Structure 1
Amino acid sequence: MRKIYRTVKFLIIGGLLLGTTLLTVSCNKQADAGGFDMTPEVKTTLIKKQDATVVQKYTAALEGKVNVEVRAQAAGYIEKILVEEGSFVKKGQALILIDSEPYRIQLQNTEATLKAAKAALVTAELERNKVASLLENSFVSPIQLQSADAALDNAKAVVSQAQAAVNEARLNLSYTTVKAPVDGFLGRINKRVGNLVAAGEPLPLTTLSDISQMYAYFSIGEADYYDLIKENGSAENVLKIPVELELSNGDKYGQNGKVDVINGEFDKVTNALTVRATFPNPDRVLRNGATGIVYLNVVHKDAIQVPISATIDLQEKVFVFVLTKENTVEQRQLKILGRDLHTYFVESGVEAGEVIAATAVDKLQDGAAVKVLEQQQTASN
């Protein structure tokens, strides 16, 4: 009985092994026939060159065309404040009155001194003329005429000195009326009526901003700067790049600006270059001290364009798979100039006329064979 059992067991195991072998051979034949072909299927895209506009964004600080600190040039107590904080004032408009009485008295004293000096000058001139006439008749010596001339010169100098003192006193008196140096909006007024002010104080009386034009200051990296020159032909052409401004609430400012100043030296710490763009501000929407985002619309001539969907990112590098004549793919790294929502603008890595895999790129490996289904529309902006 044991021999019969062993024989039956052997036959069963042998049958199973034979069946498995036949099944494997059958599957291999089906795979060879195409039933289980694992070759990736891809759609492709033909690469062409085309002009492209790349928008580059930079955070900017806004300043008025003129932003000045208004300070006292005369010492004294504030008698009156003639304007309100935040109001718009014109150049030369009176803002604050400082007690002027001490300066009026000083002016009167200098004017009196000037009158006395002018009277002394008249006396010196008469004396000199008298001595000159006596000298003609030989009643006095030439030395006396020289002495009279010296006295006259001294009297003239005293008059000039007195006149300068009067001018200074008048100037100091004018300083008691603090005036707006430019058109603009007033900031906070840091003094009140009755406060004592003095020339040279560290805290200004107020600030005044001319915001008819606004300056947007931002920084660009060294590589971006040289790319801008390369794409626009020269540093002068960079100044012609159109500029847009996004406000802090996300709205686009209604006026376009232009780059008008590029700093002549890179910052040694940040290796960045300060750039200034100017925006008209006729409705005075923009205010000093605000922030925004500057958009530079940079045009790349004959840029190679690659759909972002046809790329893969590996360790912060961007790759594509280029189709070969043997229907295999070659992995290439791209050097990116810029991008928009759907497209990379490429400096190197692929050439116009080459075909890249547009789908299933996450399943491909360098050198892998592929089956091309169809060619998608040419990559474009």
Structure 2
Amino acid sequence: MKISYLAILVILAAGCKPQPQTAANPSPPSLPVTSLGSTSETTFQDYPASIQGTVNIEVRPQVSGLLDKIFVDEGSFVNAGQPLFMINEQPFRAALNNALATLHAAESSQANARLEVEKLTPLVQNKVVSEYQLKTAREAFNIATANIESAQASVSTARINLGYTLIKAPVSGYIGRLLKKQGSLVSPSDQTPLTDLSDVHEVHVYFSLGEKEFVNFKAQYPGETLKEKLKHLPPATLLLADNSEYPVKGSIDMIDGQFNSTTGAITLRASFPNKAGLLRSGNTGKLRLSLQHPDVILVPQQATTEMQDKIFVYTVSDSNKIKMSAITVSGQSGNNYLVKDGVKKGDRIVLSGIGSLQEGTLIHPEAASEKTTIAKN
């Protein structure tokens, strides 16, 4: 049978038509993966703080008068009992002399009253005079005795007021500004004191914690009671206004008895030695507390993602499929999270490139470089 030329061309064309090929599966993405280990870590928390001396006193006059002398200069150190100011003593010395004169007169009156009693006593016994006269003499003697006691009290008051004219330092410390000058009229009712006196051989550093911070604070340190927890607190560090560290460590020794109803915070106190006098009342700074985290797992922040107030990491299974795992963070150290729960030692996580990953994605794990090492086994 003869085949036409056209039929042959059709057969040849059909034989040359390319056959459809099956599309190749895409290879899994290569991502850096590391195995989590544990390490010991120390974290720090800073709190704004104010600094006060152990004793801060307003030096005020206790009597009114002209300020005659000033024995100290602003900023100078004084010892307890050292004279600071002198108020004109002449009116007070005159008042003392007047009180002494009144006392002497009262003593003379008492002596006369005693003589009268002694004179009338035998006369009454012999019935020369009436007993009424003796009773009157005895009452006069009692009145004279009372007048002496009153005069003695006036003398004591005058002596005290005279003593108040010399104002002495009640404690050792540093003098503040002198707000009154020599020749000024001073009074106990003045709104401003003569000066301030600060005992700063040791300083108290006050800082505050909010309610939530205070709950965390109590949970972080061992001990059943607050008193026991204070004993287990690590030494405190004081950061000065320029962020430099004060060279001596302090200790937290007081927790206020109640929260401030206005601020909702509670005040704590740390004490620092200040033998060199580097710190003064009114300074500000920061109180730094350290917290030890033994056997803790660190996860870089770049390996996490946040969704609905939760933090997730992508863990890698034995079959190299990823899974989103929520973690509980207990703190932060640099660029790492301290993980309390959600992952464990030995788990593998994806370190970077997690922006487009989905649950169950198959990946090709790559060993993390040394720069991405996050913990030591």
TM class, shorter-length: 0.7 to 0.9
Say if 2:286 is the partner of 1:293. Answer: yes
Deviation larger for 58-67 or 269-278: 269-278
Structure 2, unaligned runs of 5 or more:
1-12
How many aligned positions are there? 356
* 1:1-381 → structure 2 map (5 Å cutoff): 22=21, 25=22, 28-29=23-24, 31=25, 36-48=26-38, 51-234=40-223, 235-240=226-231, 241=233, 242-300=235-293, 303-313=296-306, 317-352=310-345, 354-374=347-367, 379=375
Contact 1:311 1:318 in 2 (8 A): yes
CA distance in 2, matches of 1:306, 1:133: 110
**Structure 1 residues 194 and 361, CA, compared in 2 at 3 Å: closer, same or farther?**
same
Deviation larger for 109-118 or 190-199: 190-199
RMSD (CA atoms): 2.8
Contact 2:320 2:364 in 1 (8 A): yes
CA distance in 2, matches of 1:285, 1:239: 26
Q: CA deviation at 1:304?
A: 4.3
Q: CA deviation at 1:140?
A: 4.5
Q: Secondary structure of the residue that 2:212 maps to in structure 1? A: helix
CA distance in 2, matches of 1:298, 1:127: 87
Q: Secondary structure of the residue that 1:239 maps to in structure 2? A: helix
Paired residue for 1:5?
A: none
**Structure 1 residues 41 and 301, CA, compared in 2 at 3 Å: closer, same or farther?**
closer
Deviation larger for 184-193 or 277-286: 184-193
CA distance in 2, matches of 1:357, 1:138: 124
Q: For residues 164-184 of structure 1, what are the alpha-carbon distances to aligned partners after superposition, in whole Å with 9 as ceiling and x for unaligned?
A: 111111111122122212111
Q: For residues 154-198 of structure 1, what are the alpha-carbon distances to aligned partners after superposition, in whole Å with 9 as ceiling and x for unaligned?
A: 222211111111111111112212221211111111111222112
> Percent of aligned positions with the same letter in both sequences?
37
Q: CA deviation at 1:363?
A: 4.6
Q: CA deviation at 1:309?
A: 4.3
Contact 1:243 1:296 in 2 (8 A): yes
Q: For residues 212-263 of structure 1, what are the alpha-carbon distances to aligned partners after superposition, in whole Å with 9 as ceiling and x for unaligned?
A: 1111111112222222222223312332321001111121101100111111
Q: CA deviation at 1:325?
A: 4.8
* Residue identity opposite 1:320 in structure 2: V
CA distance in 1, matches of 2:122, 2:134: 10
Q: TM-score, normalised by structure 1?
A: 0.83
CA distance in 1, matches of 2:96, 2:72: 28
**Structure 1 residues 378 and 86, CA, compared in 2 at 3 Å: closer, same or farther?**
closer
Deviation larger for 115-124 or 230-239: 230-239
Q: CA deviation at 1:346?
A: 2.8
* Residue identity opposite 1:97 in structure 2: M
Paired residue for 1:4?
A: none
* Residue identity opposite 1:38 in structure 2: P
CA distance in 2, matches of 1:141, 1:361: 121
Structure 1, unaligned runs of 5 or more:
1-10
Contact 1:45 1:357 in 2 (8 A): no
**Structure 1 residues 211 and 315, CA, compared in 2 at 3 Å: closer, same or farther?**
farther
**Structure 1 residues 248 and 138, CA, compared in 2 at 3 Å: closer, same or farther?**
same
